[in-house]
Amino acid sequence: MKAFLMHRDRDFDLDAALPPNSEALIQDLELNVLFNAMARGDRYLYEVARTAVLQILRGEEEVRYRQDILRDVLANPLVIRQLYDLTIETRERENKIHAWMYTHSPSSILARSVQVLQLFVVMLKQLKGIGTYNVQRFSSEGFKTLFAMLDRELKDDYFISIEDHLDRLKFRDGVLISAALGKGNKGADYKLRRPKDRAKSWITRLTTPKPPAYTWRLPPRDESGASALGELRDRGLNLVANALAQSDDHILSFFAMLRAELAFYVGCLNLREQLAKKGQPISFPTPAALGERKLTFSGLYDVCLTFKTDRRVVGNDLNADNRDLVIVTGANQGGKTTFLRSLGLAQLMMQCGMFVPAESFSANLCSHIFTHYRREEDVTMKSGKLDEELSRCSEIVDAIAPDALLLFNESFAATNEREGSEIARQITSALLEKRIKIGFVTHLYDFAHSVYDKNIGTSIFLRAERQADGERSFKLREGEPLQTAYGEDLYDEIFGARGDP
C-alpha cells in the first residue's frame, strides 16, 4: 500500500540527503523561523518541513499535483488532523506491545506479531472509515488515489479473512506439525499443518474413523523434554512467524509513510492558521517552466519577518517577466534585504508545492536556489572577508547549473568601491551568460550604475524608498541607482540630528 501524497509515482524520502547549499539557505533566508512556525514545537514536523522545503520540485506538473492536495488540506483541516493523529496513535499503540517481553524464538515472534496485526486491523478499519465518510469532500488526484486504494485493498471479506487467520494462529488447540526423517534419523522438512475443520457435530466426530496415531504425554517435571518439544514446535512455526512479522512491518511502514507525508500538510495548516491570525494574505503561485523567465507578484512579504514583529509586514509588487537580473539599491534599512529574502522564500515555497506569502505570485521554476549573503566578521577566519566571500562564490559556481536562481546580498563590499564593483560585474556577466537568474542587493554604486548605463534589456532596477522626512516606507520602486544610501539618516537616528549640542 502506498500513500502518494507528496509525489504521484514514489514515496516521500524523509532521510534523503539535503542539497549541499542547504545550510547557507537556512542561514540567509532564516528558514528556521519558517520551519518552527510549521512545526509548532513538534520535532518530527520540523524535520519533515525542513526536508520537504529544501528538496525543491523542478516540474510544473509535480508542483501542481502537490498544490491540488494542499488545497484539499486547507479545505478539510479537521479530517487531515484526524488522519495524522491516527498514524501517531497506531505507532504509539504498537510500541506498547513491548518487544522486550518476548524472546527471539519463533513462538515469541508469532505471539507478538499476532497482537500487532490485531491492532493494525482495528486501525486500518478506522482509516478506511475516515476515507469512506469523507471521500466526496476531496477532489485532488492524490487523495482520490489514496481513498480508492483503501477501498480496493481493505474490503470487508479481507478483514474477515485476516481475523479468521489470526484466531487460528493463537493455536488454542495446540500445533499440528509434520516432519520427515532426514540423514542420521534426524528430523527434517518441518511443516505447520492446518488443523482439520472441527465445525462438525459431536455425533459425526465420534462415528468418523480416525487415522492411526501415537500419543506421548510429557511428564510434568521433564524440563529437558519440554525444551525439546518447544524446539520442535518452533521449527514448525518458523516460517509462519517470519511471514507474519514481515506483514506487520509492511503495514507499519505504510502508516509511517502516511504519517510523514501528512506531516508536511499539517505543517502547512499550522503556518496558514498563524498567518491568518496576523491578517497576512497567502495565495497559490502559478509556476512557469524551467527555461522561461517569469517573475510577477503583488503584496509579496517576508513570511519569516511576520513571526518576529507584531506589526503587519509591508508587501511589494513587481513585474519582472523576461528579466534575468534584478538589482536593488537605495536607502539603508529601507527593506532591501527583507525584499530579497521574501523573494527567496517564495521561490522555495512555490517549488515544494506550498502557498506563498503574497496576494499573487507567478515565477518560473529554477533548477537550484543559491544565496550569497554578506557574513559578519568571524574571528576564526584564517583569511580576509573578501577571500571568504570569493571562496563561497567559487563553491556556488562549481555547483550551479543553467536556470538556477542566485541571490546576492551586499556581496563583495569587503573591499573598496572600484575593486568590489569590478568583481561584481565580472561574476554577474559570467553567470548571466550561463542563464543564471540573479537578484542582487548592493551599495556598490559603480557596479549598479554601470549595468544601468548599458541599458541591458534583461535587467530591472529597484530602489528602496526614502520619504522627504527620512522615513522608510519599506516599499521598493523601479528607479535608477543613486549614489547615496542616506547613511546620514542612521547617524542622525543614533547620535541625534546634526547640529544638536
Residue 235 lies in a domain: yes
* Predicted pLDDT of residue 183: 77
Indicate if 243 and 291 belong to the same structural domain: no
Reported confidence tier of residue 182, pLDDT bands at 50, 70, 90: confident
* Predicted pLDDT of residue 258: 97
Give the E-state strand segments of 351-468 in sequence order: 360-364, 369-373, 405-409, 437-441, 459-466
Highest mean pLDDT among 101-105, 152-156, 192-196, 209-213: 152-156
Helix (H, G, I), strand (E, B), or coil: what is residue 406?
strand
Residue 367 lies in a domain: yes
* Predicted pLDDT of residue 5: 97
Indicate if 265 and 236 belong to the same structural domain: yes
CATH of the domain at 357: 3.40.50.300
β-strand 187-193 against 286-288: which pairing, if any? unpaired
Between CA 403 and CA 368 the distance in angstroms is 8
Please write the tens of the pLDDT for every residue from 143-160.
Answer: 999 999 999 988 888 777
Indicate if 99 and 125 belong to the same structural domain: yes
Residue 472 lies in a domain: yes
Indicate if 161 and 305 belong to the same structural domain: no
Residue 215 lies in a domain: no
Indicate if 264 and 351 belong to the same structural domain: no
* Predicted pLDDT of residue 280: 96
Reported confidence tier of residue 172, pLDDT bands at 50, 70, 90: low
Residue 67 lies in a domain: yes
Reported confidence tier of residue 490, pLDDT bands at 50, 70, 90: very low
Mean pLDDT is lowest, of 99-108, 153-162, 266-275, 379-388, for: 99-108
Long-range contacts of 388-395 (CB under 8 A, 24+ apart): 389/414, 390/423, 392/24, 393/427
Domain membership of residue 424 as a residue range? 283-495
Indicate if 176 and 299 belong to the same structural domain: no
Indicate if 190 and 266 belong to the same structural domain: yes
> Structurally, how many domains does the chain consist of?
2
Please write the tens of the pLDDT for every residue from 62-82.
Answer: 999 999 999 999 999 999 999
Mean pLDDT of 286-308: 96
Pick the last residue of a domain from 208, 243, 277.
277
* Predicted pLDDT of residue 491: 46
Indicate if 431 and 310 belong to the same structural domain: yes
Please write the tens of the pLDDT for every residue from 407-446.
Answer: 999 999 888 999 999 999 999 999 999 999 999 999 999 9
**What does the block give as the cell for 316?**
511589494
Phi and psi of 220, rounded to 5°?
-55, -30
Residue 87 lies in a domain: yes
Residue 40 lies in a domain: no
Indicate if 1 and 135 belong to the same structural domain: yes
Indicate if 188 and 335 belong to the same structural domain: no
Please write the tens of the pLDDT for every residue from 214-260.
Answer: 666 767 776 665 555 555 555 545 556 666 677 778 889 999 999 99
For the chain, the average pLDDT equals 85
Indicate if 262 and 318 belong to the same structural domain: no
Q: What is the DSSP string of 65-104?
A: HHHHHHHHHHH-HHHHHHHHHHHHHHHHHHHHS-GGGS-S
Q: Are 288 and 58 contacting, i.e. CB atoms less than 8 angstroms apart?
A: no
Residue 163 lies in a domain: yes
Q: Burial letters for 419-453: b for 16+ Cβ neighbours within 10 Å, e otherwise?
A: ebbbbbbebbeebbeeebbbbbbbbbbbbbbebbe
Nearest residue to 365 (alpha-carbon basis) of 376, 351, 353, 385? 351
Nearest residue to 342 (alpha-carbon basis) of 222, 441, 456, 211? 441
Would the pLDDT of 175 be above 80?
Answer: no
